[in-house]
Chains A and B, each alone.
Chain A
Amino acid sequence: MEGRIIVVTSGKGGVGKTTATASIGAALALEGKRVAVIDMDIGLRNLDVVLGLENRIVFNIVDVVNGKCKLRQAAIRDRRIENLFLIPASQSDNKDILTPAGVERVGRLLKKEFDYVLMDSPAGIERGFENSIASADEAVVICTPDVSSVRDADRVIGLLYARSITPKLVVNRIVPEMVAKGDMLSHEDVIDVLSVPLVGLVPMDQQVVISSNVGLPLVMQNDSTAGQAFRRIARRLNGESDLPIQVPSHKKGMWGMLTRKFGKK
């Protein structure tokens, strides 16, 4: 069976596309799928650092598209998670070095090789974005609960629909305490504007910063709330569409404080 190419995009920068790509990719691989995560942010590569594979880069996606190497030569195998592969971006080129047609051609090869291919799109809606969506079958739009991120996600959703790609939504970095106080948009507010199918809600988690810096996939850390959310997102993408979506909540009062105190060791 042919694999699926999923582009992870957002319009706005810094909302967690790369973290989401790494986490969902790793989680799908842990589910037993053969997964490639591809950094499409040519010139500003990050995905290799987040996955802790920066020291093993020889070839990159530009080399693959331009025929300088084979797909298998560029795909770096993750030694901790079986079946997870990274194709990094080039750090020395810019976005114009790739064309949508070239990416589409490589996309066909990727689909034969892998069950899931996750494309980490760069921010913006220019060439880099167009390259990323060129071969995509599906899209996951990452949005944080703030007005500018919602606005940009909305624009991107419009562009995806224009290519007849139906996006799925992940609301990232939810701070339940702020939502409860009315200082942050709730995920309902976000969905109210974007009205696309929701695939997961991810709470704000300090563990994300730590794991990105040490290059350890978030989903391998059992005490990370964001990691758990991404694992559930991966399961939903992998066909378990009836898996209920958990709304991040904060425990309040005496009982909550007690459980939090004793829960941490």
Chain B
Amino acid sequence: MDYQTGLAIAAPLTVGIAAIGSALGLGKAVGSAMEAMGRQPEAIAKIQTGMIIGAAFIEALTIYALLAFLLVMGKIGA
């Protein structure tokens, strides 16, 4: 197996694994936020802010994985 075949297998796997990790992290974050809102309704604004920041970080990591994928795709078949 040459390195280009390895890249062609690894690149989509990378994005897939990143997407799965992000989905799990986001799911846990939303679940915990809903639980915290139920326990402390007076702290909703702070919980939502934390939730938004966490979601932005998680999304950014997935976008980096997609960007790395596109960079690697440019090397395949070159």
A and B: bona fide binding partners: no
Binding site for A on B (CB under 8 A): none
